[in-house]
Structure 1
């Protein structure tokens, strides 16, 4: 049954959720707090605490994304065959083992194994949880759920990052051991949900008799024009978005805008604050509107944010530059509130129950591919002093997202595009 009730306020949204949806959403911020404790400090731990050289530490960090990308495809197929619950429990067990190993890793080999195990979880968690969400909620409520979930993930990671920043000390290695063990322990919360209140939720189903073509494997899925366009859009959005958050943005802010590291920290805090404060208001505004038009607006917002960051290079090492860097992340965050509810909703409205895992795996692969390519391109451009070219590439890619959104609009139905079709009046 399609859940299209328009809800007013957070209470209305909460009342409209089925019980399983409430269980899933109620613990998101707590689950991700553990990840926030370790995410900003892992490379510092490897380099400054365990003594691995910086190049090796960066290579080890890259294992998470590479392994996640490799695992995503098989993970999506396994989700459709055995159900999201089973695969998520395996992924979370891998995460627990990986974080525990990393907590005590005193040599690169042990650290590599731990990071590979963490990458396995990353590869299955995105398609798994998205498939689980889509099996519990549908219609306009699903779009709202993806948005609220994104805000809570950011809240958990943001709070975890702040706590970790005050707690960890490179002169006290045991503080890093503690945060990795807490990250491992936080994974027990979703495991308990999957084995308890959500144990009856099924995501896998048998394909309708005689159904072939676009309903079957990955080859048929990625041949669909709508999937091609939304996947290209996702890849480019991640290339100019999250692919730059750990590479291009900090490097530009330090090398070109010449702001202190504390300013970069405040910028990330501002990013989280904007998402948490504005996500629900944005969801109410975009409800019932064409998702592709929302993506088009997001593309313009992101283009403006990159121009704003580029302008900080004209006034380096000034208060204006610091304000501009923080403003960049704030404007960028507003664009995120437009992107995150819409793209996953399009993928899941294109999918059917028997191939939902594979559709979400395609989404995850496009996301991870862009996130991997982004830092590489940023490094090449910024290392050669092509600062203006770097900003120009980001802006052009943002405008390209808008073009791809319009192309996608012509290839999906109004229902998939988030427009609730009203029933004709009966005399």
Structure 2
């Protein structure tokens, strides 16, 4: 058995530039992401409360970008949309350097988030287009593992630049991020899919049947997919709990040492890097709704563990948090590639962009809701956010149980993908 198959990696022959582009994109994102709030405060002199309002306003304004990207993907193809999403972010990150006016920064951040929302469904559709049959989940898993590596490396490089360069270091981080998006655009633009010559004796191709024009009305009529979207929103909230909720819960609500969240994040990152592709391979022939149900149950268990963490007792509390993080990561490893592959498998090819655009919208809604809902629940009781998330996961299990009978056969198992 080839090493690549043992590790759960897909066939990447002829697709190297796409992989490098993803890594470069993630490296630049990792440079800036940990310092986004601090950059606008330290380098631009904007009060922290104003920065928070700016970012929230931009997140709300950019919500339509995902659904708008869908028709663009279906009409112009995912490759062009990926390139355009990266070029938008080249312009916005360049703009960050030259202005410190809050309303102008809100506009730039909105466009940046719109570029993100354009890039993600475009990249998912591009993977669906270039992956070999039966290997889409592997591609999504590999992409996620590589992005974790690149995000971590970018974060370390950004820390060095900020520590040594001060305000100039922040500017360097922003400029390098713009360069990374430009390089990623160039890699995708110059890549051409491998061409398989037609046999010499092949008959003349028949005229392609006309594809009827369709839009979001047809997507919204797909009741099974609407059920899938409800689970996407739940899983997005679960995923965001790691970045939005965990640190505040550990340090503020439980009074534990400030080093603990960083170690927990490191555990999550390392596990994803080392095992994501192998987990995707292990479950690729199982029913997708069942895999997602297992992920939801594991998430619910992890949230119960987090909610039960004792206050102030650093040793036992940290042990419980580590166990909770391992279970949390196991849920992530199952859900992330499976959800992406499920959406692509459900969607008719001529509507794939719109299906992915609505999935992106659910992530956008979750990003708007998570900070407000999680912090409010945390003020009402330390364990309430985790218990609420656990209840949402159990609801997702019930929805997926009904969907397993309603989904088309092509969506249920990887082996029947087109």
The match for 2:245 is: 248
Partner residue of 2:96 out of 95, 99, 102: 102
Is 1:257 aligned to 2:254, yes or no? yes
The alpha-carbon deviation at position 63 of structure 1 amounts to: 4.3
The match for 2:28 is: 34
The match for 1:125 is: 119
SS at match of 1:123: helix
Cα RMSD of the aligned pairs, angstroms, is 2.6
Is 1:320 aligned to 2:316, yes or no? yes
The alpha-carbon deviation at position 207 of structure 1 amounts to: 9.5
Residues 349, 160 of structure 1: alpha-carbon distance in 2 compared, 3 angstrom cutoff: same
Is 1:239 aligned to 2:240, yes or no? no
1:316-355 map, 5 Å: 316-355=312-351
The match for 2:300 is: 303
State the alpha-carbon separation in 1 of the partners of residues 277 and 193 from structure 2: 29
The match for 1:80 is: 74
SS at match of 1:109: helix
8 Å CA contact 1:100–1:184 kept in 2: the answer is yes
Partner residue of 1:227 out of 218, 225, 228: 225
Report the number of matched residues: 405
The alpha-carbon deviation at position 248 of structure 1 amounts to: 2.1
Residues 72, 51 of structure 1: alpha-carbon distance in 2 compared, 3 angstrom cutoff: same
State the alpha-carbon separation in 1 of the partners of residues 277 and 232 from structure 2: 22
SS at match of 2:378: helix
Alpha-carbon displacement from aligned partner over 1:268-316 (angstroms, at most 9, x marks no partner): 121111101111220121021111111111111111211121122x232
8 Å CA contact 1:67–1:119 kept in 2: the answer is no
SS at match of 1:140: coil
State the alpha-carbon separation in 2 of the partners of residues 421 and 28 from structure 1: 27
Residues 13, 169 of structure 1: alpha-carbon distance in 2 compared, 3 angstrom cutoff: closer
State the alpha-carbon separation in 1 of the partners of residues 72 and 21 from structure 2: 25
State the alpha-carbon separation in 1 of the partners of residues 159 and 318 from structure 2: 20
State the alpha-carbon separation in 1 of the partners of residues 132 and 406 from structure 2: 21
State the alpha-carbon separation in 2 of the partners of residues 140 and 279 from structure 1: 17
Alpha-carbon displacement from aligned partner over 1:100-122 (angstroms, at most 9, x marks no partner): 22234433233223212211211
State the alpha-carbon separation in 2 of the partners of residues 247 and 207 from structure 1: 49
Is 1:89 aligned to 2:83, yes or no? yes
State the alpha-carbon separation in 2 of the partners of residues 37 and 188 from structure 1: 15
The match for 1:425 is: none
8 Å CA contact 1:267–1:330 kept in 2: the answer is no
The match for 1:386 is: 381
8 Å CA contact 1:256–1:316 kept in 2: the answer is no
Residues 48, 419 of structure 1: alpha-carbon distance in 2 compared, 3 angstrom cutoff: closer
Partner residue of 1:396 out of 385, 391, 403: 391
The alpha-carbon deviation at position 321 of structure 1 amounts to: 2.2
8 Å CA contact 2:25–2:184 kept in 1: the answer is yes
TM (norm. structure 2) is 0.89
TM (norm. structure 1) is 0.87
The alpha-carbon deviation at position 317 of structure 1 amounts to: 5.0
Partner residue of 2:180 out of 183, 186, 197: 186
The match for 1:367 is: 363
1:106-185 map, 5 Å: 106-169=100-163, 172-185=166-179
- Unaligned 5+ segments in structure 1 are 423-427
Residues 397, 297 of structure 1: alpha-carbon distance in 2 compared, 3 angstrom cutoff: same
Q: Which moved more, 1:109-118 or 1:363-372?
A: 109-118
- Unaligned 5+ segments in structure 2 are 196-206
SS at match of 1:121: helix
State the alpha-carbon separation in 2 of the partners of residues 64 and 100 from structure 1: 17
Residues 157, 350 of structure 1: alpha-carbon distance in 2 compared, 3 angstrom cutoff: same
State the alpha-carbon separation in 2 of the partners of residues 76 and 375 from structure 1: 26
Is 1:272 aligned to 2:269, yes or no? yes
Residues 194, 39 of structure 1: alpha-carbon distance in 2 compared, 3 angstrom cutoff: same
